[in-house]
Copies of this chain bind each other. A is one copy, B any other.
Amino acid sequence: MNKYIEISNELRNHILKDNLYHPNDQLPCEKDLCIQYGASKMTIKKALDILVDEGLIYKKRGHGTFVKGLSQQQLDIMEENLCNTQQALTGFSRQYAKEDVTSTVLEFSVIPPTPKIASNLHITEEDFVYKIIRVRNRNGVPCVIEETYMPIDLIPGLKMAHLESSIYAYIRQTLHYEIQSSHVRIRAKGASEFIARNLQLEPGSPVAVVEQIAFLDNGMPFEYSFSTHKADLFDFSAVIVKKIP
């Protein structure tokens, strides 16, 4: 593992687990951290900047580096979520790996894409896409319904069995692609009759919809999806840090 990753992991643990650094504590200055970790200033800076981006600490020029005044609840959320943010890129099955996850496939077909789908998947309307509609159950309870489109050229050989377990595992392990990033858009709405029926809700009940475009590490969008979550099971966290002073 890289040095700056290791240092940032260690410092993060000191804040979130070891209780070595508490909210509002000042961290050792960069020079001391250099000595402590036998690293250069750039390496320490890089390690600290990761924690700044994660929302754990802040730095003030001429002053020092400090832990933010975070509540225990926030610390807990962050401990759970820091990996989770990354796990958004590992698919539903991995995200809830500890729980009993099953899928009910409602539709699995190959169709020509609508203009919107073609555009977002960066293909033409003459290409074909898989259309997949799945209900995801956690511990036997339906909680998300996913409508997914993927270019067949990019993800060849997709079978029903993959849908019932994890498409992401197929992409990673069989096709040897890596997922690089994902652009999400979150909205709320009332459940349609179709959604309501499959999530065991009343029509019009509040649901959260995550529109996602996911990219492979070759820059191509390979998945365009709409995940509709039961409102009371949906919880999305994010940290926004000011970059430009």
Residues of A within 8 A of B (CB): 5, 23-24, 50, 55, 58, 60, 66-74, 77, 85-86, 88-89, 116, 119-122, 178-190, 204-208, 213, 215, 217, 219-221, 229, 231-232, 234-245
From A70, A120, A206, residue with most partner B Cβ within 10 Å: A206
With contacts A66-B219, A69-B215 known, is A240 near B119, CB below 8 A? no
Asked if residues B24 and A219 are in contact (CB atoms below 8 Å), the reply is yes
Asked if residues B181 and A215 are in contact (CB atoms below 8 Å), the reply is no
With contacts A221-B69, A238-B238 known, is A206 near B189, CB below 8 A? yes
Asked if residues B208 and A89 are in contact (CB atoms below 8 Å), the reply is no
A–B pairs, 13, beta carbons within 8 Å: A66-B219, A71-B221, A86-B243, A180-B241, A181-B241, A184-B237, A184-B240, A185-B235, A186-B236, A186-B237, A187-B234, A188-B234, A206-B206
Hey, which chain B residues are within 8 Å of A220, CB to CB?
A: 69
CA distance A119 to B23 in the complex (A): 12
CA distance A119 to B182 in the complex (A): 33
Q: Which residue of B lies closest to A208 (CB)?
A: B188
Asked if residues B244 and A86 are in contact (CB atoms below 8 Å), the reply is yes
Hey, which chain B residues are within 8 Å of A237, CB to CB?
A: 183-186
CA distance A25 to B50 in the complex (A): 29
Asked if residues B58 and A235 are in contact (CB atoms below 8 Å), the reply is no
Hey, which chain B residues are within 8 Å of A239, CB to CB?
A: 181-184
A179 shortest CB reach to chain B, Å:
7
Contact of A68 among B121, B189, B219 (CB under 8 A): B219
Asked if residues B179 and A69 are in contact (CB atoms below 8 Å), the reply is no
A30 shortest CB reach to chain B, Å:
17
CA distance A166 to B213 in the complex (A): 35
CA distance A181 to B204 in the complex (A): 35
Contact of A5 among B70, B119, B183, B244 (CB under 8 A): B244
Q: A77-B183, A204-B204, A206-B206 are in contact. List 4 more A-B contacts (CB 8 A).
A: A70-B122, A89-B240, A186-B235, A188-B188
A24 shortest CB reach to chain B, Å:
6
Asked if residues B240 and A55 are in contact (CB atoms below 8 Å), the reply is no
Q: Which residue of B lies closest to A119 (CB)?
A: B71
